[in-house]
Structure 1
Protein backbone atom coordinates (compact mmCIF):
# COMPACT_ATOMS: atom_id res chain seq x y z
CA UNK A 1 0.00 0.00 0.00
CA UNK A 2 1.37 3.40 -0.98
CA UNK A 3 1.91 6.02 1.68
CA UNK A 4 -0.87 8.28 0.35
CA UNK A 5 -3.58 5.75 -0.58
CA UNK A 6 -5.65 5.78 2.64
CA UNK A 7 -6.77 8.52 4.98
CA UNK A 8 -5.44 9.03 8.48
CA UNK A 9 -7.33 7.50 11.41
CA UNK A 10 -8.79 9.50 14.28
CA UNK A 11 -7.62 7.98 17.54
CA UNK A 12 -4.87 7.87 20.15
CA UNK A 13 -2.01 7.98 17.62
CA UNK A 14 -1.30 11.63 16.67
CA UNK A 15 -1.75 12.62 13.04
CA UNK A 16 1.87 13.72 12.72
CA UNK A 17 3.03 10.30 13.98
CA UNK A 18 0.84 8.49 11.43
CA UNK A 19 2.28 10.59 8.60
CA UNK A 20 5.84 10.04 9.83
CA UNK A 21 5.27 6.28 10.04
CA UNK A 22 3.92 6.12 6.48
CA UNK A 23 6.85 8.07 5.11
CA UNK A 24 9.29 5.98 7.14
CA UNK A 25 7.89 2.77 5.63
CA UNK A 26 8.08 4.33 2.15
CA UNK A 27 11.76 5.09 2.74
CA UNK A 28 12.44 1.58 4.03
CA UNK A 29 10.67 -0.15 1.11
CA UNK A 30 12.52 1.96 -1.47
CA UNK A 31 9.64 4.13 -2.62
CA UNK A 32 11.83 7.07 -1.62
CA UNK A 33 15.50 6.22 -2.14
CA UNK A 34 18.55 8.16 -0.89
CA UNK A 35 18.63 11.51 -2.67
CA UNK A 36 14.87 11.57 -3.29
CA UNK A 37 12.79 14.50 -2.07
CA UNK A 38 9.83 13.70 0.19
CA UNK A 39 6.44 15.37 -0.28
CA UNK A 40 6.55 18.86 1.19
CA UNK A 41 4.41 20.34 3.93
CA UNK A 42 1.92 21.80 1.46
CA UNK A 43 1.41 18.46 -0.30
CA UNK A 44 0.96 16.62 3.00
CA UNK A 45 -1.53 19.28 4.12
CA UNK A 46 -3.60 18.85 0.98
CA UNK A 47 -3.55 15.06 0.97
CA UNK A 48 -4.40 14.49 4.63
CA UNK A 49 -6.26 17.69 5.51
CA UNK A 50 -3.90 18.55 8.34
CA UNK A 51 -2.36 21.79 9.48
CA UNK A 52 1.10 22.97 8.55
CA UNK A 53 2.15 22.41 12.15
CA UNK A 54 1.20 18.72 11.89
CA UNK A 55 3.01 18.06 8.62
CA UNK A 56 6.06 19.95 9.84
CA UNK A 57 6.13 17.86 13.04
CA UNK A 58 6.10 14.65 10.95
CA UNK A 59 9.05 15.79 8.82
CA UNK A 60 10.92 17.14 11.84
CA UNK A 61 10.57 13.73 13.48
CA UNK A 62 12.02 11.95 10.46
CA UNK A 63 14.97 14.35 10.49
CA UNK A 64 15.52 13.66 14.19
CA UNK A 65 15.60 9.94 13.39
CA UNK A 66 18.35 10.56 10.83
CA UNK A 67 16.27 9.52 7.81
CA UNK A 68 16.11 12.86 6.02
CA UNK A 69 17.90 16.19 5.84
CA UNK A 70 15.75 19.29 5.49
CA UNK A 71 17.35 21.96 3.30
CA UNK A 72 15.96 25.42 2.61
CA UNK A 73 14.81 25.71 -0.98
CA UNK A 74 15.25 21.98 -1.67
CA UNK A 75 12.85 20.27 0.72
CA UNK A 76 13.23 17.07 2.75
CA UNK A 77 15.90 14.85 1.18
CA UNK A 78 16.27 11.17 2.04
CA UNK A 79 19.82 10.45 3.18
CA UNK A 80 21.88 7.27 3.16
CA UNK A 81 21.04 4.98 6.11
CA UNK A 82 23.45 4.72 8.99
CA UNK A 83 25.62 1.66 9.42
CA UNK A 84 25.24 0.29 12.96
CA UNK A 85 28.02 -1.73 14.56
CA UNK A 86 27.74 -3.63 17.86
CA UNK A 87 30.36 -2.65 20.41
CA UNK A 88 30.75 -6.13 21.89
CA UNK A 89 32.23 -7.71 18.75
CA UNK A 90 35.65 -7.23 17.13
CA UNK A 91 35.08 -7.10 13.37
CA UNK A 92 36.74 -5.61 10.34
CA UNK A 93 35.32 -2.73 8.33
CA UNK A 94 34.90 -5.15 5.44
CA UNK A 95 32.77 -7.49 7.55
CA UNK A 96 30.62 -4.59 8.80
CA UNK A 97 29.90 -3.42 5.26
CA UNK A 98 29.23 -6.83 3.69
CA UNK A 99 26.76 -7.79 6.42
CA UNK A 100 24.73 -4.74 5.42
CA UNK A 101 24.90 -5.40 1.70
CA UNK A 102 27.46 -2.67 1.03
CA UNK A 103 30.65 -3.08 -1.00
CA UNK A 104 33.75 -2.15 1.05
CA UNK A 105 36.58 -0.24 -0.57
CA UNK A 106 39.90 1.24 0.47
CA UNK A 107 42.08 4.15 -0.61
CA UNK A 108 45.57 3.91 0.87
CA UNK A 109 47.08 7.37 1.11
CA UNK A 110 50.37 6.46 2.75
CA UNK A 111 52.28 3.40 3.99
CA UNK A 112 55.50 3.99 5.91
CA UNK A 113 57.78 2.79 8.68
CA UNK A 114 57.98 5.40 11.41
CA UNK A 115 58.90 5.78 15.08
CA UNK A 116 56.05 5.14 17.49
CA UNK A 117 54.85 8.13 19.47
CA UNK A 118 54.80 7.65 23.27
CA UNK A 119 51.02 7.08 23.14
CA UNK A 120 51.22 4.47 20.37
CA UNK A 121 54.21 2.74 22.02
CA UNK A 122 52.23 2.49 25.27
CA UNK A 123 49.20 0.98 23.50
CA UNK A 124 51.34 -1.59 21.68
CA UNK A 125 53.54 -2.24 24.74
CA UNK A 126 56.70 -1.29 22.87
CA UNK A 127 59.92 0.28 24.06
CA UNK A 128 60.33 4.02 23.37
CA UNK A 129 61.45 4.86 19.81
CA UNK A 130 60.40 1.45 18.48
CA UNK A 131 59.58 1.24 14.75
CA UNK A 132 55.96 0.71 13.71
CA UNK A 133 54.18 0.50 10.38
CA UNK A 134 51.84 3.44 9.83
CA UNK A 135 48.94 3.00 7.36
CA UNK A 136 46.72 5.93 6.40
CA UNK A 137 43.54 4.94 4.50
CA UNK A 138 40.09 6.19 3.60
CA UNK A 139 37.42 3.49 4.07
CA UNK A 140 34.61 3.40 1.52
CA UNK A 141 31.13 1.89 1.32
CA UNK A 142 29.74 1.56 -2.21
CA UNK A 143 32.52 3.98 -3.26
CA UNK A 144 31.33 6.61 -0.75
CA UNK A 145 33.76 7.76 2.01
CA UNK A 146 32.72 6.37 5.38
CA UNK A 147 35.77 6.82 7.61
CA UNK A 148 39.46 7.63 7.76
CA UNK A 149 41.79 5.10 9.34
CA UNK A 150 45.25 5.71 10.81
CA UNK A 151 46.68 2.32 11.78
CA UNK A 152 49.90 1.38 13.60
CA UNK A 153 51.16 -2.21 13.46
CA UNK A 154 53.71 -3.64 15.88
CA UNK A 155 57.03 -4.91 14.38
CA UNK A 156 56.20 -8.53 15.27
CA UNK A 157 53.41 -8.41 12.67
CA UNK A 158 55.67 -8.09 9.63
CA UNK A 159 58.98 -9.58 10.81
CA UNK A 160 58.31 -12.89 9.00
CA UNK A 161 55.76 -11.93 6.36
CA UNK A 162 57.25 -8.63 5.24
CA UNK A 163 55.28 -5.44 4.78
CA UNK A 164 51.90 -5.32 3.04
CA UNK A 165 51.82 -3.38 -0.22
CA UNK A 166 49.47 -0.58 -1.20
CA UNK A 167 47.85 -3.06 -3.60
CA UNK A 168 47.27 -5.47 -0.69
CA UNK A 169 45.65 -2.74 1.39
CA UNK A 170 43.55 -1.30 -1.42
CA UNK A 171 42.39 -4.75 -2.42
CA UNK A 172 40.94 -6.04 0.82
CA UNK A 173 40.64 -6.15 4.58
CA UNK A 174 43.71 -5.51 6.73
CA UNK A 175 42.42 -8.09 9.21
CA UNK A 176 42.26 -10.65 6.39
CA UNK A 177 45.89 -9.83 5.47
CA UNK A 178 46.94 -10.24 9.09
CA UNK A 179 45.33 -13.68 9.25
CA UNK A 180 46.12 -15.04 5.79
CA UNK A 181 49.59 -13.56 5.16
CA UNK A 182 51.08 -12.65 8.55
CA UNK A 183 49.49 -15.64 10.31
CA UNK A 184 48.02 -13.48 13.09
CA UNK A 185 44.43 -13.94 14.22
CA UNK A 186 43.06 -11.16 16.40
CA UNK A 187 41.37 -12.47 19.54
CA UNK A 188 40.22 -9.32 21.35
CA UNK A 189 40.69 -5.63 21.92
CA UNK A 190 39.50 -2.52 23.65
CA UNK A 191 37.93 0.57 22.16
CA UNK A 192 37.14 4.14 23.16
CA UNK A 193 34.68 6.26 21.17
CA UNK A 194 34.11 10.00 21.44
CA UNK A 195 32.45 12.72 19.43
CA UNK A 196 34.42 15.51 17.75
CA UNK A 197 34.25 18.16 15.07
CA UNK A 198 36.09 17.14 11.91
CA UNK A 199 39.24 19.11 11.10
CA UNK A 200 39.64 20.51 7.59
CA UNK A 201 41.65 17.55 6.25
CA UNK A 202 39.21 14.95 7.63
CA UNK A 203 36.21 16.87 6.30
CA UNK A 204 37.75 16.93 2.81
CA UNK A 205 38.55 13.22 2.94
CA UNK A 206 35.00 12.34 3.97
CA UNK A 207 33.24 14.80 1.68
CA UNK A 208 31.79 16.80 4.56
CA UNK A 209 31.01 20.48 4.83
CA UNK A 210 32.35 22.09 7.98
CA UNK A 211 31.38 22.21 10.71
CA UNK A 212 30.68 18.47 10.68
CA UNK A 213 30.58 15.88 13.45
CA UNK A 214 32.64 12.69 13.43
CA UNK A 215 32.85 9.71 15.76
CA UNK A 216 36.47 9.11 16.77
CA UNK A 217 37.31 5.52 17.67
CA UNK A 218 40.60 4.58 19.37
CA UNK A 219 41.07 0.79 19.18
CA UNK A 220 43.87 -1.52 20.26
CA UNK A 221 43.59 -5.15 19.16
CA UNK A 222 45.61 -8.12 20.30
CA UNK A 223 46.36 -11.73 19.39
CA UNK A 224 47.00 -14.78 21.56
CA UNK A 225 48.60 -14.17 24.97
CA UNK A 226 47.17 -10.63 24.83
CA UNK A 227 50.00 -9.51 22.54
CA UNK A 228 49.08 -6.07 21.14
CA UNK A 229 49.14 -6.10 17.35
CA UNK A 230 47.31 -3.02 16.12
CA UNK A 231 46.43 0.45 17.32
CA UNK A 232 44.08 2.40 15.05
CA UNK A 233 42.38 5.77 15.13
CA UNK A 234 39.19 5.80 13.06
CA UNK A 235 37.15 8.89 12.27
CA UNK A 236 33.67 7.90 11.15
CA UNK A 237 31.07 10.13 9.53
CA UNK A 238 28.56 10.70 12.32
CA UNK A 239 25.73 10.95 9.78
CA UNK A 240 26.49 7.47 8.37
CA UNK A 241 27.71 5.42 11.34
CA UNK A 242 26.42 4.53 14.79
CA UNK A 243 27.31 2.05 17.52
CA UNK A 244 25.11 -0.01 19.81
CA UNK A 245 25.63 -2.24 22.80
CA UNK A 246 23.34 -4.57 24.71
CA UNK A 247 22.75 -3.83 28.38
CA UNK A 248 21.81 -6.07 31.30
CA UNK A 249 20.38 -4.86 34.60
CA UNK A 250 22.88 -5.14 37.41
Structure 2
Protein backbone atom coordinates (compact mmCIF):
# COMPACT_ATOMS: atom_id res chain seq x y z
CA UNK A 1 0.00 0.00 0.00
CA UNK A 2 1.33 3.43 -1.01
CA UNK A 3 1.60 5.32 2.26
CA UNK A 4 2.96 8.71 1.31
CA UNK A 5 1.72 12.24 0.79
CA UNK A 6 2.04 14.17 -2.47
CA UNK A 7 3.27 17.56 -1.31
CA UNK A 8 2.64 19.02 -4.79
CA UNK A 9 -1.03 18.06 -4.63
CA UNK A 10 -3.30 21.07 -3.96
CA UNK A 11 -5.39 18.91 -1.60
CA UNK A 12 -4.63 20.02 2.00
CA UNK A 13 -2.08 17.87 3.78
CA UNK A 14 -4.39 16.95 6.68
CA UNK A 15 -7.03 15.65 4.24
CA UNK A 16 -4.43 13.59 2.40
CA UNK A 17 -3.26 12.20 5.74
CA UNK A 18 -6.86 11.46 6.74
CA UNK A 19 -7.47 9.54 3.50
CA UNK A 20 -4.28 7.53 3.94
CA UNK A 21 -5.18 6.59 7.51
CA UNK A 22 -8.69 5.60 6.41
CA UNK A 23 -7.06 3.10 4.05
CA UNK A 24 -4.67 2.00 6.78
CA UNK A 25 -7.60 1.25 9.07
CA UNK A 26 -8.91 -1.26 6.50
CA UNK A 27 -5.61 -3.12 6.40
CA UNK A 28 -5.94 -6.51 8.18
CA UNK A 29 -2.69 -5.70 9.97
CA UNK A 30 -4.48 -3.00 11.97
CA UNK A 31 -8.04 -4.37 12.10
CA UNK A 32 -9.69 -5.49 15.33
CA UNK A 33 -8.25 -2.98 17.78
CA UNK A 34 -4.57 -2.95 16.75
CA UNK A 35 -2.50 0.14 17.57
CA UNK A 36 -1.27 2.44 14.81
CA UNK A 37 2.39 3.51 14.66
CA UNK A 38 2.98 6.38 17.09
CA UNK A 39 2.45 9.97 16.00
CA UNK A 40 6.15 10.76 15.72
CA UNK A 41 6.72 7.82 13.37
CA UNK A 42 3.67 8.60 11.24
CA UNK A 43 4.45 12.31 10.97
CA UNK A 44 8.05 11.55 10.01
CA UNK A 45 6.99 8.95 7.43
CA UNK A 46 4.51 11.36 5.84
CA UNK A 47 6.85 14.34 6.13
CA UNK A 48 4.22 16.46 7.84
CA UNK A 49 4.01 18.19 11.21
CA UNK A 50 2.48 16.42 14.21
CA UNK A 51 -0.21 19.11 14.41
CA UNK A 52 -1.24 18.34 10.81
CA UNK A 53 -1.30 14.63 11.61
CA UNK A 54 -3.35 15.25 14.77
CA UNK A 55 -5.88 17.18 12.70
CA UNK A 56 -6.43 14.05 10.60
CA UNK A 57 -6.45 11.69 13.59
CA UNK A 58 -8.91 13.84 15.54
CA UNK A 59 -11.40 13.67 12.66
CA UNK A 60 -11.24 9.86 12.63
CA UNK A 61 -11.49 9.67 16.42
CA UNK A 62 -14.59 11.87 16.25
CA UNK A 63 -16.11 9.51 13.64
CA UNK A 64 -15.49 6.56 15.93
CA UNK A 65 -12.99 4.88 13.59
CA UNK A 66 -10.06 5.35 15.96
CA UNK A 67 -9.72 5.24 19.73
CA UNK A 68 -7.08 7.33 21.47
CA UNK A 69 -5.77 6.40 24.90
CA UNK A 70 -3.65 8.98 26.66
CA UNK A 71 -0.13 7.71 27.28
CA UNK A 72 -0.82 4.52 25.31
CA UNK A 73 -1.50 5.41 21.69
CA UNK A 74 -4.12 5.39 18.97
CA UNK A 75 -5.77 2.18 17.83
CA UNK A 76 -8.37 1.11 15.32
CA UNK A 77 -11.83 0.95 16.89
CA UNK A 78 -13.42 -2.46 16.96
CA UNK A 79 -16.77 -2.82 15.16
CA UNK A 80 -19.56 -1.95 17.58
CA UNK A 81 -22.09 -4.58 18.53
CA UNK A 82 -25.48 -3.61 17.15
CA UNK A 83 -28.89 -4.36 18.62
CA UNK A 84 -32.14 -3.61 16.80
CA UNK A 85 -35.45 -2.69 18.35
CA UNK A 86 -37.31 -4.75 15.75
CA UNK A 87 -37.50 -8.56 15.89
CA UNK A 88 -36.68 -8.63 19.60
CA UNK A 89 -34.52 -11.59 20.68
CA UNK A 90 -32.62 -12.61 23.78
CA UNK A 91 -29.05 -11.33 23.97
CA UNK A 92 -27.64 -14.78 23.13
CA UNK A 93 -29.91 -15.06 20.11
CA UNK A 94 -29.00 -11.54 18.97
CA UNK A 95 -25.31 -12.36 19.04
CA UNK A 96 -25.74 -15.77 17.40
CA UNK A 97 -27.65 -14.12 14.57
CA UNK A 98 -24.62 -11.87 13.99
CA UNK A 99 -22.11 -14.69 14.18
CA UNK A 100 -20.53 -13.30 17.35
CA UNK A 101 -19.17 -15.80 19.86
CA UNK A 102 -20.07 -14.70 23.38
CA UNK A 103 -18.08 -15.45 26.51
CA UNK A 104 -19.55 -15.45 30.01
CA UNK A 105 -17.06 -13.81 32.37
CA UNK A 106 -19.26 -13.93 35.48
CA UNK A 107 -22.59 -15.50 36.42
CA UNK A 108 -24.24 -15.07 39.84
CA UNK A 109 -27.65 -16.25 41.04
CA UNK A 110 -29.14 -15.06 44.35
CA UNK A 111 -32.50 -14.56 46.05
CA UNK A 112 -33.04 -10.95 47.13
CA UNK A 113 -35.68 -8.59 48.40
CA UNK A 114 -36.59 -6.33 45.45
CA UNK A 115 -36.20 -2.58 45.64
CA UNK A 116 -39.24 -0.35 45.11
CA UNK A 117 -38.76 -0.14 41.31
CA UNK A 118 -38.70 -3.91 40.87
CA UNK A 119 -41.49 -4.54 43.39
CA UNK A 120 -43.75 -1.95 41.75
CA UNK A 121 -43.17 -3.45 38.31
CA UNK A 122 -43.98 -6.95 39.57
CA UNK A 123 -46.81 -5.61 41.76
CA UNK A 124 -45.50 -7.48 44.79
CA UNK A 125 -44.37 -6.54 48.29
CA UNK A 126 -40.68 -5.77 48.87
CA UNK A 127 -40.71 -8.51 51.54
CA UNK A 128 -41.28 -11.11 48.81
CA UNK A 129 -37.91 -12.43 47.59
CA UNK A 130 -37.19 -12.66 43.87
CA UNK A 131 -34.50 -14.42 41.87
CA UNK A 132 -31.67 -12.11 40.79
CA UNK A 133 -29.40 -13.13 37.90
CA UNK A 134 -26.17 -11.20 37.21
CA UNK A 135 -24.12 -11.87 34.11
CA UNK A 136 -20.97 -10.23 32.78
CA UNK A 137 -20.71 -11.00 29.08
CA UNK A 138 -18.67 -10.07 26.04
CA UNK A 139 -16.30 -11.26 23.36
CA UNK A 140 -13.10 -13.19 23.91
CA UNK A 141 -11.17 -9.92 24.11
CA UNK A 142 -13.16 -8.69 27.09
CA UNK A 143 -16.60 -7.89 28.53
CA UNK A 144 -18.86 -5.22 27.08
CA UNK A 145 -22.16 -5.72 28.92
CA UNK A 146 -23.23 -6.34 32.51
CA UNK A 147 -26.78 -7.66 32.95
CA UNK A 148 -28.90 -7.71 36.09
CA UNK A 149 -32.23 -9.55 35.77
CA UNK A 150 -34.99 -9.97 38.33
CA UNK A 151 -37.75 -12.54 37.81
CA UNK A 152 -41.29 -12.58 39.12
CA UNK A 153 -41.76 -15.45 41.64
CA UNK A 154 -44.70 -16.62 39.54
CA UNK A 155 -42.29 -17.65 36.76
CA UNK A 156 -41.08 -20.59 38.85
CA UNK A 157 -37.31 -20.37 38.39
CA UNK A 158 -35.37 -22.12 41.16
CA UNK A 159 -31.85 -20.79 40.55
CA UNK A 160 -30.61 -24.26 39.63
CA UNK A 161 -31.14 -23.72 35.89
CA UNK A 162 -28.26 -23.64 33.41
CA UNK A 163 -28.21 -19.91 32.73
CA UNK A 164 -25.48 -20.31 30.13
CA UNK A 165 -28.33 -21.31 27.83
CA UNK A 166 -30.54 -18.69 26.11
CA UNK A 167 -32.71 -17.26 28.87
CA UNK A 168 -36.03 -17.25 27.04
CA UNK A 169 -35.52 -20.84 25.91
CA UNK A 170 -35.24 -21.80 29.59
CA UNK A 171 -38.43 -19.93 30.45
CA UNK A 172 -40.38 -21.42 27.57
CA UNK A 173 -39.11 -25.02 27.63
CA UNK A 174 -38.79 -25.53 31.38
CA UNK A 175 -41.36 -23.15 32.88
CA UNK A 176 -43.80 -22.86 29.93
CA UNK A 177 -43.55 -19.10 30.18
CA UNK A 178 -43.39 -17.32 26.81
CA UNK A 179 -41.75 -13.89 26.76
CA UNK A 180 -43.90 -11.99 24.29
CA UNK A 181 -43.52 -8.26 24.87
CA UNK A 182 -40.48 -6.15 25.72
CA UNK A 183 -40.68 -2.47 26.63
CA UNK A 184 -37.32 -0.73 26.76
CA UNK A 185 -35.71 2.50 27.92
CA UNK A 186 -32.26 3.57 26.71
CA UNK A 187 -30.24 6.24 28.49
CA UNK A 188 -26.66 7.44 28.71
CA UNK A 189 -24.90 7.72 32.04
CA UNK A 190 -21.47 7.80 33.63
CA UNK A 191 -20.12 4.52 34.97
CA UNK A 192 -19.87 4.34 38.75
CA UNK A 193 -16.96 2.48 40.36
CA UNK A 194 -18.81 -0.85 40.45
CA UNK A 195 -19.93 -0.85 36.81
CA UNK A 196 -16.58 0.59 35.68
CA UNK A 197 -14.75 -2.30 37.33
CA UNK A 198 -17.04 -4.82 35.62
CA UNK A 199 -16.74 -3.30 32.15
CA UNK A 200 -13.03 -2.50 32.53
CA UNK A 201 -13.40 1.23 31.94
CA UNK A 202 -12.50 4.27 34.01
CA UNK A 203 -15.08 5.52 36.53
CA UNK A 204 -17.06 8.31 34.89
CA UNK A 205 -16.72 6.78 31.41
CA UNK A 206 -19.86 6.98 29.25
CA UNK A 207 -21.99 3.85 29.19
CA UNK A 208 -25.43 2.95 27.86
CA UNK A 209 -28.11 1.74 30.25
CA UNK A 210 -30.89 -0.33 28.74
CA UNK A 211 -33.87 -1.08 30.96
CA UNK A 212 -35.99 -3.94 29.64
CA UNK A 213 -39.45 -4.76 31.00
CA UNK A 214 -40.59 -8.17 29.79
CA UNK A 215 -44.16 -9.53 29.75
CA UNK A 216 -45.74 -12.89 28.97
CA UNK A 217 -48.61 -13.65 26.57
CA UNK A 218 -51.10 -12.41 29.14
CA UNK A 219 -49.24 -9.08 29.48
CA UNK A 220 -48.10 -10.09 32.97
CA UNK A 221 -44.62 -8.89 34.05
CA UNK A 222 -42.00 -11.64 34.18
CA UNK A 223 -38.58 -9.96 34.03
CA UNK A 224 -37.06 -6.63 35.05
CA UNK A 225 -33.70 -6.34 33.30
CA UNK A 226 -30.89 -3.78 33.50
CA UNK A 227 -28.13 -3.89 30.90
CA UNK A 228 -25.00 -1.74 31.26
CA UNK A 229 -23.09 -1.51 27.96
CA UNK A 230 -19.69 -0.08 27.11
CA UNK A 231 -20.49 2.90 24.91
CA UNK A 232 -17.51 2.18 22.65
CA UNK A 233 -18.73 -1.35 21.91
CA UNK A 234 -22.47 -1.11 21.46
CA UNK A 235 -24.88 0.60 19.06
CA UNK A 236 -28.65 0.47 19.49
CA UNK A 237 -30.45 0.74 16.14
CA UNK A 238 -34.08 1.83 15.92
CA UNK A 239 -35.89 0.93 12.72
CA UNK A 240 -39.12 2.78 11.90
CA UNK A 241 -41.40 2.59 8.90
CA UNK A 242 -43.94 5.25 8.00
CA UNK A 243 -47.31 3.85 7.03
Does residue 137 of structure 1 match 2:135? yes
Q: Which moved more, 1:99-108 or 1:16-25?
A: 16-25
* Matching residue of 1:202: 195
The number of residue pairs the alignment matches comes to 243
Does residue 177 of structure 1 match 2:170? yes
Residue among 154, 157, 167 paired with 2:155: 157
CA distance in 1, matches of 2:95, 2:23: 23
Q: Which portions of structure 1, spanning 4 or more consecutive aligned residues, are displaced by more than 6 angstroms?
A: none
TM-score (norm 1): 0.81
Residues 153-201 of structure 1 deviation map (CA, whole Å, 9 limit, x = unaligned):
112211xxx52426x11x2222222223222232221111111111112
Alignment of 1:37-186 (within 5 A): 37-48=35-46, 50-126=48-124, 129-142=127-140, 144-158=142-156, 162-165=157-160, 168-169=162-163, 171-186=164-179
Residues 62-112 of structure 1 deviation map (CA, whole Å, 9 limit, x = unaligned):
211223222344431224332121233422221232333321122444312
CA distance in 1, matches of 2:2, 2:216: 51
Gaps of 5+ in 1: none
CA distance in 1, matches of 2:7, 2:242: 39
Change (3 A) 1:180 1:5: farther
Q: Which moved more, 1:91-100 or 1:223-232?
A: 91-100
SS state of the match for residue 218, structure 2? helix
CA distance in 2, matches of 1:241, 1:44: 30
Root-mean-square deviation (Å): 3.0
CA distance in 1, matches of 2:141, 2:22: 26
Gaps of 5+ in 2: none
Would the aligned equivalents of 1:8 and 1:48 in 2 still touch at CA under 8 Å? Answer: no
Would the aligned equivalents of 1:192 and 1:217 in 2 still touch at CA under 8 Å? Answer: yes
CA shift, 1:151, in A, is 0.5
Would the aligned equivalents of 2:110 and 2:159 in 1 still touch at CA under 8 Å? Answer: no
Q: Which moved more, 1:75-84 or 1:189-198?
A: 75-84
SS state of the match for residue 213, structure 2? strand
Q: Which moved more, 1:83-92 or 1:224-233?
A: 83-92
CA distance in 2, matches of 1:96, 1:24: 29
